Amino acid sequence: MGATKTYPGGVHALRGVDLTVVSGELLAIVGPSGSGKSTMLNIIGTLDRPTTGTVRVAGHDVNTLSDAQLSALRARHIGFVFQHFHLSPGRDAVDNVADGLLYAGVGPRERRARARAALERVRIGHRLDHRPHELSGGEKQRVAIARALIGEPELLLADEPTGALDSASGQLVLELLRELNAAGTTVCVITHDHEIADALPRRVRFRDGEVVADSGPATPDTATREVRS
């Protein structure tokens, strides 16, 4: 609560943000470039720490954890999907997804089996042995989503997941995110696109490092885990 983030030179990326994400939500954090939404993603995802304020993820106060403990927290609870996929060019879809379990103590055979199942889940089981240069933009994003899901995270953070896609591929990706949410995953989409944001149950609008509008939690289930900042 009351999260701030100030960078060298006096750049205030976040200014006292109060935000609670309830388990099971599907929401958009929306705002123009420079509004603070990407900084908010890094804070929620424990990739960065607030300058001041309290951030709690899955019941843990981020400020009290070591870097190793934060890495473990991310591995157990959080999956990431980025606009530009971040796939390894020399590895096929199965290996790219299996790499999501590389540090989870899972053997190679089990990693690949889980990777194939994750790719089937995002409806790209027909492209298992294809490398990134052989895939369309939408297919690459589905591989990236499968990689994020292989560790069965409770929270999926999707940063501009349709930004590099044509409209048809973007719609498919949004449909997949809705399906994942319906199956129980908390999904937070970070976007500058108000049309995408308006199609989701909750919209949190950022401007100049502050929340300027919040349509409110889309689920009454407050007894389960929350992400707070």
pLDDT in tens, 133-178: 999 999 999 999 999 999 899 999 999 999 889 999 999 999 999 9
Handedness of CA 193, 198, 199, 204 (dihedral sign): positive
Please check whether residue 16 lies inside any domain of the structure.
yes
pTM of the prediction?
0.90
Please check whether residue 39 lies inside any domain of the structure.
yes
Burial class (CB in 10 A: 0-12, 13-18, 19+), 190: buried
Q: For the chain, what percent of residues have pLDDT higher than 90?
A: 83
Q: What is the pLDDT of residue 221?
A: 45
Q: What is the pLDDT of residue 220?
A: 43
Q: What is the pLDDT of residue 217?
A: 76
List of the chain residues with pLDDT < 70: 218-229
Q: How far is CA 216 from the centre of its chain?
A: 19
Please check whether residue 116 lies inside any domain of the structure.
yes
Q: What is the pLDDT of residue 87?
A: 95
Please check whether residue 42 lies inside any domain of the structure.
yes
Please check whether residue 224 lies inside any domain of the structure.
no
Q: What is the pLDDT of residue 226?
A: 53
Total domains, the chain: 1
Please check whether residue 228 lies inside any domain of the structure.
no
Find the domain containing 64 and state its range: 3-219
Q: How many CB atoms lie within 10 A of CB 123?
A: 15
d(CA 88, CA 166): 22
> Domain of 140: which CATH number?
3.40.50.300
* Residue 60 DSSP class: E
Q: What is the pLDDT of residue 142?
A: 94
Please check whether residue 229 lies inside any domain of the structure.
no
Q: What is the pLDDT of residue 224?
A: 36
Stretch (H or E) spanning 72? helix 67-77
What contacts 24+ positions apart, CB below 8 Å, involve 178-183?
178/26, 180/145, 180/149, 180/156, 181/24, 181/25, 181/26
Starting at the earlier edge strand, list the strands of the sheet with 60-61: 20-22, 226-228, 56-57, 60-61
